[in-house]
Amino acid sequence: MDIAILGGTGKEGAGLAARWAAAGHAIVIGSRDAGRARAKAAELAARTMTATIGGASNADAARQGEVVVLALPAAGLAQTLPEVREGCRGKVVVSTAVPLTFGGPRLFTPPPAGSSAEEAQALLPEARVVAAFHHIAAHELSETTHAIECDLLLCGADAAAKETVAELGRSMGLRPIDVGALSNAGPLEGITAVLATINRRYKLKNSGIKITGL
């Protein structure tokens, strides 16, 4: 599958790119700076020993991808998404964004829409937004030589879109769990704040979530 990762020069986006490239997907890294995207793509291609990673501007990457992944800072969605709206039209768009504010009174600070995924859906009304991959630590993603020990929780309004994202999760060895409508994205994103707190308190880099009873 051709996957565009907007904001793919960051740790989370680069980790996803490495895992999916290793699984045989073709990746295009997106960035506001196309040159920076190409440099990161070359670095990841050398590290993963695959020629299936390229780089482009966010807008060009969105046009190229069958699936578009938002690995952008939550605060930057309103600025970036309007310029990629046409490239995302009709496509599955995966929101990994989490609205965290470090150093303030609240770590999890959702937007008025209720979640970053719902904000993304409002900004990309013709796209099929699925919220997923929030709880997979960048550290875990980048360590491609071992399995990731957590489940993939995802939610969205479109059943076919959710199945596409579930298959992307399976391709990197994750068990996908559908947790319902996109209105559940707020609680999903909020769990990331809990995991960040656990990591800090217990000096970890890779706490995760597993659902029992399934």
| Strand order from edge to edge, sheet including 128-131 | 53-57, 26-31, 2-6, 67-70, 92-95, 128-131, 151-156, 175-178
> Nearest-CA neighbor of 165 among 137, 133, 212?
133
pLDDT score for 171: 97
51 — pLDDT class (breaks 50, 70, 90): confident
Q: 28, 51 in Cβ contact below 8 A?
A: no
The H or E element that residue 197 is part of is: helix 185-202
What integer best gives the mean pLDDT of the chain? 95
pLDDT of 102 higher than 90: no
Place of tokens 């990731």: 148
d(CA 48, CA 116): 30
33 — pLDDT class (breaks 50, 70, 90): very high
- Domains plus CATH for the chain? 2-202 (3.40.50.720)
Q: 211, 173 in Cβ contact below 8 A?
A: no
Phi (first) and psi of residue 119, to 5 degrees = -65, -45
Q: 76, 157 in Cβ contact below 8 A?
A: no
Q: 173, 147 in Cβ contact below 8 A?
A: yes
pLDDT score for 139: 84
At 171, list the tokens.
Answer: 């391709």
Q: Give residue 95's region: left, alpha or beta (phi > 0; psi -120 to 50).
A: beta
DSSP class of residue 108 equals B
57 — pLDDT class (breaks 50, 70, 90): very high
pLDDT score for 172: 95
The pairing of strands 128-131 and 92-95 is parallel
Angle among Cα 132, 138, 140 to the nearest 5 degrees reads 100
d(CA 145, CA 158): 33
Share of the chain above pLDDT 70, in %: 100
DSSP H helices in 26-158? 34-48, 58-64, 77-88, 116-123, 138-142
pLDDT of 105 higher than 90: no
**Model-wide pTM > 0.85:** yes
